[in-house]
Chains A and B, each alone.
Chain A
């Protein structure tokens, strides 16, 4: 069983569209994250949820809206996609606290044309 799974793996879309990426973890972790990896491989945290509560919200355009229906799921919805949103988006989970190891999903390659 995959520990952290995210779908879709690839997402190709036109500028201006709205899209969602889904993430689920079966590790029993309370904390989930969204990271963005750009073309230069920088991994930047976007959001963190602990037991469905938003605890980290970095400087991310408000076109990005995370939603956590329960502690095993964290979805990312993106409105009005722009070219600069093209990147790989990774979901991750951990036990509570940043001093716990992160388990990453396999990533979603988003290409905005």
Chain B
């Protein structure tokens, strides 16, 4: 079952913040976040495992709320390089990773 991401798209000015949500209808074991720039391969950002941890990658961080079965990705003080499509991948302890439809982030100067 694929996770649901929201919003579908977001436009930011440099320095602004944004949150991308990833929700599942089933209990999650792990959540992965990847970023894909236009015409390129998805690139790994971080993995969060069951336990409600929070992780960071530069000024991009994420949280994982097991009870709510969701994860959120936080883009803080966005930079032009943050533009791209962000995918969450979820795993239900079955060793299969299912990706959401992606959230397109556009950061403008």
Which A residues contact B (CB, under 8 angstroms)? 4, 40-45, 55-56, 90, 97-107
A106 to B29, CA, bound (A): 28
**Hey, which chain A residues are within 8 Å of B85, CB to CB?**
41
**Hey, which chain B residues are within 8 Å of A44, CB to CB?**
99
Select A104's contact among B29, B41, B47, beta carbons within 8 Å: B41
Total A-B Cβ pairs within 8 A: 52
With contact pairs A98-B95, A98-B97, A99-B30 given, residues A42 and B2 touching in the complex (Cβ less than 8 Å): yes
Q: SS class of chain A's interface: helix, strand, loop or mixed?
A: loop
Which B residues contact A (CB, under 8 angstroms)? 2, 29-30, 32, 34, 40-44, 47, 49, 85, 87, 89, 91, 95-99, 101-102
Q: Is the CB of A41 within 8 A of B102?
A: yes
Q: SS class of chain B's interface: helix, strand, loop or mixed?
A: strand
**Hey, which chain B residues are within 8 Å of A107, CB to CB?**
40-41
Q: Is the CB of B32 within 8 A of A43?
A: no
Q: Is the CB of A43 within 8 A of B91?
A: no
**Hey, which chain B residues are within 8 Å of A90, CB to CB?**
41-42
With contact pairs A97-B95, A98-B96 given, residues A103 and B101 touching in the complex (Cβ less than 8 Å): no
With contact pairs A98-B91, A99-B91 given, residues A40 and B101 touching in the complex (Cβ less than 8 Å): yes
A25 to B11, CA, bound (A): 35
**Hey, which chain B residues are within 8 Å of A99, CB to CB?**
29-30, 47, 49, 91
Q: Mind listing 25 A-B residue pairs with CB under 8 Å?
A: A40-B101, A41-B101, A41-B102, A42-B99, A42-B101, A43-B42, A44-B99, A45-B96, A55-B95, A56-B96, A90-B41, A90-B42, A98-B91, A99-B29, A99-B47, A99-B91, A101-B32, A101-B47, A102-B34, A102-B44, A103-B44, A104-B41, A104-B42, A106-B40, A107-B41
